[in-house]
Chains A and B, each alone.
Chain A
Amino acid sequence: MPPQTPSLSNIYTDAINSLTQEVLKEQPRDIIQYCANYFNKQLEIERTRSLYQSTISTAAMASSTFPGRMGTNANPFGSGLDSGSNIGITKVAEEDENDTITSPTTPSFGFKGNSTFGDFGGDGAGGPPSSWKAPSGDGFPAHYGMGRRTSVSAESLNPTASLNENWSPPFHQKTEDQLARLKRSISTNFLFSHLDDEQSNQVLGALVEKPIPAKGIKVITQGDQGDFFYVVEKGIFEVFKNNSGVLQPGADGLGMKVATIESGGSFGELALMYGAPRAATVVSTEASSTLWALDRITFRRILMDSTFQRRRLYESFLEEVPLLFTLDKYERSKVADALDTQKYPAGTTMIKEGDAGEAFYLLESGECEAYKAGKEEPVMYYKKGDYFGELALLNDAPRAASVISKTEVKVATLGKDGFQRLLGPVESIMRRTKYETGVEDIDPLTK
């Protein structure tokens, strides 16, 4: 559009002339619709342009930043007329020409504490068709891949209990020594560090010994789909990476050696999440080496089944608590989700008479007793599935009794703050409740 200010009739003839040209060129089927679209478009471009000129002088969005993809006149960031001031885009900086694209989600390989493995490129399979370049500087992470990212997914699994099936994890006997070493190897790994004792024991039990009888055996092969995670029991393993992303035939096919893994080290943890192509090849360097192996399905099933069972257990416990009768299913599942599991040895005072009540407890396993000052005998006995302290969720009254674990116990707890955070102000929940039935009678802690 010409920069001078032409007279009205000039604008008109210019517009009509260019429309005519467009119509001749495009030969639209629906001429009226085409003209309507055309003028809307022109209007948008023109308005956007004047907006830009008045608000930002830096040509925020030169249309040339969309080379070949947008019409020469078309400004892709035209602001809508009715959202006038919303120029939503910041200035486009010059892009760096040197860094070429790498996809951040191409397959890689997990190695414990080995920074040399931070640099796995991918094979680009399924990568982006566009050739964005990662801008350097300006806060962008080094080597940041600007391409479209592909999704990842594991095979779908349903909890054993929900399928009425019987599954128990495989168990492979190990010596005390071996167990201790394995525990050390995996305990700091982020895929294992949050496991509870039972899950951890099941995982340790499921690791299966994999003898590697000779030197030069490829335990995993770059480019192949990974299904196992390995811990080195004995021997030294070397890690090679071919820049093509796949192991190649021939002497140099392994590519560059990038790391060495020794006893206690582990590799291939990404395979515990989903089946991605291996990003390196791992080769044995001695005869009679030994690995421990764990496959993804076993690992995920162990975690899933125990979580599923615990969740259902908590939900069924919560259904028994009169104070929570008015919660709907959604709210109850929220509470179950937020419960925190804790273990205490026998003889622990979990609630102290006179203290301000802060948390509510569900007894998952073990036994507890409630005592009141001045009385020798316990005033209440709790077993698995029982709960105590729930009035703390509602008021600040001091605890009316102490609760002491009789055996080792496992409890699920939720504090008042958590309860309110999830369900809103206690008063509104109280209002729903008609517990004239006297919760007080049930809970000695309030007396």
Chain B
Amino acid sequence: MHKATALLHHHSSSKEVSLEVIEQEKHFVAQFADGSHTQLPVDRLKEDPQNKQLGGSSRGLNVTDFDLLKTLGTGTFARVWLVRLKNPAEEDRDKFFALKVLRKVDVIKLKQVDHVNHERSVLADVAGYPFITTLITSFSDHDSLYMLLDYCPGGEVFTYLRKAKRFDETAARFYAAEIVVILEFLHEREGVAYRDLKPENLLLDADGHIKLVDFGFAKKIGNRETYTLCGTPEYLAPEVIQSKGHTTAVDWWALGILIYEFLTGYPPFWNQNPIEIYKQIVSKPVHFPDSPSISPEAKDIIRQFCTVNRSHRLGNMAGRAESVKAHPFFHGVNWDDVYYRKHRGPIIPPLRHKGDATCFDDYPDDKAHRDAYTHDLQRKWDNHFKDF
């Protein structure tokens, strides 16, 4: 399955693909069940022939080729399932995946058509990068869009954070360092703004390393600014709230919020009423509690990230990610070791077997009532989903 052929699109209804192709595709996807653990340097990722094949649209696969085992998470627009190949080849038995399912009606109703297309294309571009969930392939049927991802079994950093209440600086630094490396890659190599950094979107792999998931708001913007408001209220940068046009600098703001939340257990700007959160974000400096005590280096990096004027924001000035890496908060971090995952994470998920999903919460079943994807909608919109 090559990207070139993958671009030809097929609807399940009109799909007439030989069983042989489907078997090949199953075998192909099975290789990627465990995600990428590449040891290639970042500038050579694209040379890996395997990576080139990732992220294309499937010719023959279909949701019925998988057993849907358990819901791993629900987002605003999607439901993600733990799945396993149905009738796999003998050697592909114990291969699990995450299948992200988006219902077309919901995507249209929630005005996320552009966003899901950005998500698919950014994920295809970055497939094979070790700290991002790998898009193996995508497909669609009459009602839904599907993205087959490598299964990241450790669950959300969010879960561990809430249970632990807060992380100490060593753990916070470990995760923050991996995120710096990810943002450097996304911003400086791919020209992509991620736009939804938060503990809920950081998963842990079996060794406790981060995998960034949910590229629903990621967008390739290059050096330009973009305008659509999106993100998570507590993590929105001031320029997003005030519709000033925003750039990759929003991710550095969010990293400041994230480190704060790691160290205290809650974000710096909070209120039950989102409008009050937004007022605080645009006007209030970050305030630190007396307890737990936070080191001066950590306070400084948080303040420098959470600087309203983005021309003064750490990460967005000369040196870009390099200047972040040089900040005293990261003193002693060996950045090559970070990229090559030399050290295991501070939290090792307690996994007993490959398809173990105990690190994920239980989610209620889908609401019974669903809007139908009517033929009218199909006529008007299906063209917008042709990349899947």
List A residues at the B interface (Cβ < 8 Å): 26, 28-30, 33-34, 37-38, 41, 44, 61, 65-66, 69-71, 74-83, 85-90, 92-93, 102, 104-105, 107-111, 117-121, 126, 128-130, 132, 135, 138-141, 143-146, 148-159, 190-191, 194, 269-270, 273-274, 276, 279, 299-300, 303-304, 307-308, 311, 329-330, 333-334, 337-338, 418, 420-424
Contacts and interface: CB of A to CB of B under 8 A. Distances in A.
Given A132-B162, A151-B75, A303-B243, A80 B228 contact: no
Contacts, number: 272
A39 B200 CA distance: 30
B111 A155 contact: yes
Contact of B310 (A92, A149, A337): A337
Given A88-B167, A191-B242, A152 B233 contact: yes
A79 B273 contact: no
Nearest to B292: A90
A278 B227 CA distance: 24
A424 B326 CA distance: 15
A304 B163 contact: no
B318 A422 contact: yes
B21 interface: no
Contact of A76 (B230, B349, B363): B349
A320 B245 CA distance: 24
Interface string B345-382: 11111111100001101111000000000000000000
A132 B74 CA distance: 17
Interface string B151-174: 000001011101111111011101
A93 B159 CA distance: 16
Contact of A420 (B114, B265, B318, B358): B318
Interface residues of B, number: 92
Interface string B276-303: 1111001100000111100000000000
Given A80-B345, A151-B230, A108 B274 contact: yes
Interface of B is mostly: loop
B352 A71 contact: yes
A190 B242 contact: yes
A338 B278 CA distance: 23
Interface in B188-206: 196, 198, 200
Nearest to A66: B163
Indicate the member of B115, B167, B358 with the most A CB atoms within 10 Å: B358
Contacts of A120: 272-273
Interface of B: 74-76, 93-94, 110-112, 114-115, 156, 158-160, 162-168, 170-172, 174, 196, 198, 200, 207-208, 216-217, 223-225, 227-234, 241-245, 247, 264-266, 270-279, 282-283, 289-292, 310-312, 317-319, 342-353, 358-359, 361-364
Given A89-B168, A155-B111, 6 more contacts: A80-B207, A83-B344, A89-B346, A104-B272, A421-B311, A421-B317
Contacts of B216: 151
Given A149-B234, A303-B244, A159 B227 contact: yes
Contact of B75 (A109, A150, A269): A150
Nearest to B247: A337
B311 A338 contact: yes
